Structure 1
Amino acid sequence: MPRILLTAAGSYGDVAPYTGVGARLREAGHRVALATHDSYAPLVRAAGLEFRRLPADPRRPGATGQRRNTGPRALLRTAAAFLRELGDGLADAARQDTDLLLFSTTTAPLGHHLAEALRLPFLDLPLVPGAPTGDFAPVVGGGRSLGRRGNRAAGRLSLRVLDRLHADAARDLRARLGLPPATARTVRRRTEAAGRPVLHGFSEVLLPRPADWPAHLEVVGNWWPWHAPGERLPPVVEDFLAAGPPPVYVGFGSMAAGDGERLGALAADALRRAGLRGVLQSGWAGLAAPEHPDLLTVGALPHALLFPRMSAVVHHCGAGTAAAGLRAGVPTVPVPVTADQPFWAARLAALGAATAPVPFRDLSSDHGAARLADALTQVTAAPARRERATAVARRLAAEDGAGAVAEAVGRLSA
């Protein structure tokens, strides 16, 4: 059995799905190390995986994910600095006993240089579609279609932007690894031309595989964060659930850092207007519910345990959270903030399992609470969205994304 190094970097949603992949590979008899940030070391070890440290932890004070009111140019500079630090960490995490490298969405562009230097086989395991297609525009652009030719052109442009963002980190990493100079774009094109399998960790139920993708780009289904088989919700949560009708979940994950007091008050106001109970998950925003018998604030809890007990979920629509709501069979009020979130919000709405998106910026207006309350009333009053979400959940339950990764690893090891 090969010794596997799995690498993942970024927010919780960028990392946690790979604990499920790693656990499945461990169950298949592989030795698996997951290299990621210190914040996720307990989760990695709980899943039975070896933890290896990556720097540039976005949870540290002043990191990219914690900055507010920062202009686009400053954000790009911060992201480039993050990648240069990440490159050094990837080189440190790889050891001589490694037989196979698995790269996440975030680590793949730099990981390819590492695989070249170590002469190791690898698999890319992205959580979002990145290859150009005529079916939709780049996901980080919000998903507004530009027509088939326009979508493909925009997809190619987004790859060039990504190449530029990685340029300094790639140059430094290649020098450290003793590789000849090569641009990020050159290495990306070389990797694409090789036609190695790329396994995407989302479901075709939510986003069908583009018809114009080459055969090596596969969509295998979601990878779910690992949690202990016998884990239960804390007693305080169970008591709250038993005290009334199913509440609404509200959380923004790694978004809106430091804005929790305002958002908590707004969510409480919206829930009161809609006549609903609520569970607020603190997240990076520090979201907190005002003292009230119909409101509860919780910390980190597995969505797989919490979401099925909700009447609806309100969230930022990161790829993993969007899928978790569908898996639970509950309808969504999407409140996208940035990056790929508007894309997934639009997909949920198109699927019939969510209301029209409520852009996060709208929550800063005087009518933010009223807008959110209206969406909450829509999503809980009409059964059609819940019925649609329940039907989708049944289809997701038949998929085994982590099993597909284990099969691909088996083929590489044969």
Structure 2
Amino acid sequence: MATFLLTADGTHGDVWPFIRLAEGLGRRGHEAVLFSHQAYADTAARAGVRLVATDTAEEYERLLDDHRDVLLNVLTSVDRVVDFYHRNGIFDQIRAEYEAMAELARTRPAGEVVLVGRHMSRLSVLLGREALGVPAAWVCGYPQQHMGASLTQRLYPRGLADPMNALRGRLGLPPVTDWGTWLSGVDGCVCLWPDWFDTAGDPAPAGATRAGFLLNDAAETGPLPAAAAALVAPSQPRPILVTAGSGRMLHRDWYATAVAAVAEIGRPGIVVCKYRDLLPERLPPGLHWFPALPFATLVPKVAAVLHHGGILTSARAIRSGTPQVVLAHGVDRPDNARRLRRLGLAEWLPAARWTTADVAALLRSVLAEPAYRRRAIDLAPGTDSDAALDTACQALETLLGRTPTAPAPTRAPATRTATDLSPERAALLRRWLDQRSTRRRGNHAEAAVSDDEVRRRLDAGR
């Protein structure tokens, strides 16, 4: 029996697949321990998974509230993300998680421990790979995670490098200067989407395992409460399901726009949202609010799903043969929405185009055109979560007994000398040096090529 130490943060779309993964590894005879939010302890317990809480329920709710604006605006406000890390004690959490993992790992036989983390967010697995000499793997829940790797790498020189290196120093590890190499320094990568979803956009990294969507049916199956069951009774017109996931990281106009569009087309609607304050004070007639419902039971019974573009909601709709309309804003959602549209499964709009009339028009389109439902039914067999789980577990098992190829590099590559450059690049470098020398002598005449342009051309290999 081997030991897999898994760690994940986020909301249902991030954590539920890790619970399923830990459950699958346990059924294959391994010890699987999940480090995650206390809020998921009950879900993990029902799956027979041991969860080590990384926070309290109250701390988790504060984190979700803080997520709301900061991480949605990461592309325009990197400094706000840096403040978010400091404000929420992320580095203290990384250290505590690493130490708990290390305590377990050191009591297990050599070659029988693997660390598994949510892609580029659970950095305790990288610390463990270096300090303990055990293999580590990233798990990508959606394509944008690997596509956004360069953005993650940018965060560290902008304010996260010093606290991370201070943490490393306390653990006896040298400082990192080449953040891109360190953050990608794992022994395997598992992507939780199928090949056909991969081909609809930028592909997964070379060498990664594309396992498939990992839905947590046990957490999403169960009887509907009487009020919801009455709305999807065979004698009633099928309602529209309106949902924007299990967190608070959402455009402030999302629910107001969505419910107005459903009311515009005159269809009944079921609104599923944990947080009542995200909704309009009064819902239009015919729309009914529930804080939570079992989607595996509900989604096959609705006419369409109007949602935010989360990967698990998208996959659930495909598996249920249900058309989709996506109002996508922030993080992975626009990329997921584009893939769904290219696959003929959905229509979508970015936030700049959200109007009641436009969203209502898309709802009418997917309801009237049977091709959307037919396409979802055709692809539903490609959402086999049991097969995806087997593939993911097998990929992680291949890491057992593997010694990390080398400690992740912690130094930037050596600077090349002028003799390493092509004649064209050497001439460009000389021109830049002449330009800087002229500036130092006090002559500030405008140069033909700016410093930034020279650096860009050199970096590009010109």
- Residue 61 of structure 2 is matched in structure 1 by 59
- Residue 357 of structure 2 is matched in structure 1 by 370
In 2, Cα distance between equivalents of 1:78 and 1:319: 27
Shift of 1:158: 3.4
In structure 2, the residue corresponding to 1:32 is in which secondary structure?
strand
Report the AA paired with residue 397 of structure 1: D
Shift of 1:392: 1.2
In 1, Cα distance between equivalents of 2:377 and 2:40: 31
In structure 1, the residue corresponding to 2:82 is in which secondary structure?
helix
Residue from 175, 200, 203 that aligns with 1:181 = 175
In structure 2, the residue corresponding to 1:100 is in which secondary structure?
strand
Aligned pairs (5 A) from 1:226-375: 227=218, 231-242=222-233, 244-253=236-245, 254-255=247-248, 259=252, 264-284=255-275, 286-287=278-279, 290=282, 294-355=286-347, 357-363=348-354, 368-375=355-362
- Cα distance per residue 1:65-85 (max 9 Å; x no partner): 244797724532234325424
Aligned pairs (5 A) from 1:155-174: 157-158=150-151, 160-164=153-157, 166-174=160-168
- Residue 149 of structure 1 is matched in structure 2 by none
CA contact 1:125–1:198 (8 Å) conserved in 2: yes
Shift of 1:189: 6.8
In 2, Cα distance between equivalents of 1:258 and 1:358: 13
Q: Does 1:391 align with 2:378?
A: yes
CA contact 1:114–1:177 (8 Å) conserved in 2: no
Q: Which stretch shows the higher mean deviation, 345-354 or 123-132?
A: 123-132
In 2, Cα distance between equivalents of 1:398 and 1:14: 15
Cα distance change, pair 293–59 in 1 and its aligned pair in 2 (3 A): same
CA contact 2:65–2:248 (8 Å) conserved in 1: no
Q: Does 1:103 align with 2:84?
A: no
Residue from 212, 222, 229 that aligns with 2:213 = 222
CA contact 1:240–1:296 (8 Å) conserved in 2: no
- Cα distance per residue 1:40-83 (max 9 Å; x no partner): 22222222111112249552267532447977245322343254
Report the AA paired with residue 67 of structure 2: G
- Cα distance per residue 1:148-198 (max 9 Å; x no partner): xxxxxxx7x436325546524531331232212223616527726xxx221
Percent of aligned pairs with the same amino acid: 25
CA contact 2:221–2:295 (8 Å) conserved in 1: no
Number of residues of Structure 1 aligned to a counterpart in Structure 2: 382
Q: Which stretch shows the higher mean deviation, 300-309 or 60-69?
A: 60-69
Cα distance change, pair 369–296 in 1 and its aligned pair in 2 (3 A): same
Report the AA paired with residue 232 of structure 1: P
Cα distance change, pair 26–311 in 1 and its aligned pair in 2 (3 A): same
CA contact 2:194–2:213 (8 Å) conserved in 1: yes
Residue from 380, 391, 394 that aligns with 1:404 = 391
Cα distance change, pair 189–16 in 1 and its aligned pair in 2 (3 A): closer
Shift of 1:107: 3.3
In structure 2, the residue corresponding to 1:387 is in which secondary structure?
helix
- Cα distance per residue 1:196-241 (max 9 Å; x no partner): 2211111122123967943x32211111125259733333321221
In structure 1, the residue corresponding to 2:196 is in which secondary structure?
coil
Aligned pairs (5 A) from 1:11-50: 11-50=11-50
So what's the TM-score if we normalise by structure 1? 0.81
In structure 1, the residue corresponding to 2:316 is in which secondary structure?
helix
CA contact 1:19–1:226 (8 Å) conserved in 2: no
Bigger radius of gyration among the two: 2
In 2, Cα distance between equivalents of 1:380 and 1:24: 37
- Cα distance per residue 1:115-153 (max 9 Å; x no partner): 211222222211134698xxxxx3x5xxxxxxxxxxxxx
In structure 1, the residue corresponding to 2:26 is in which secondary structure?
helix
In 1, Cα distance between equivalents of 2:219 and 2:145: 35
The gaps in structure 1 that reach 5 residues or longer are: 133-137, 141-154
In 2, Cα distance between equivalents of 1:128 and 1:18: 13
Q: Which stretch shows the higher mean deviation, 272-281 or 52-61?
A: 52-61
CA contact 1:47–1:226 (8 Å) conserved in 2: no
In 2, Cα distance between equivalents of 1:278 and 1:158: 38
Report the AA paired with residue 66 of structure 2: T
- Residue 196 of structure 2 is matched in structure 1 by 205
In structure 2, the residue corresponding to 1:96 is in which secondary structure?
helix
In 2, Cα distance between equivalents of 1:375 and 1:282: 22
CA contact 1:9–1:106 (8 Å) conserved in 2: no
Cα distance change, pair 75–16 in 1 and its aligned pair in 2 (3 A): farther
CA contact 1:9–1:104 (8 Å) conserved in 2: yes
Report the AA paired with residue 230 of structure 2: D
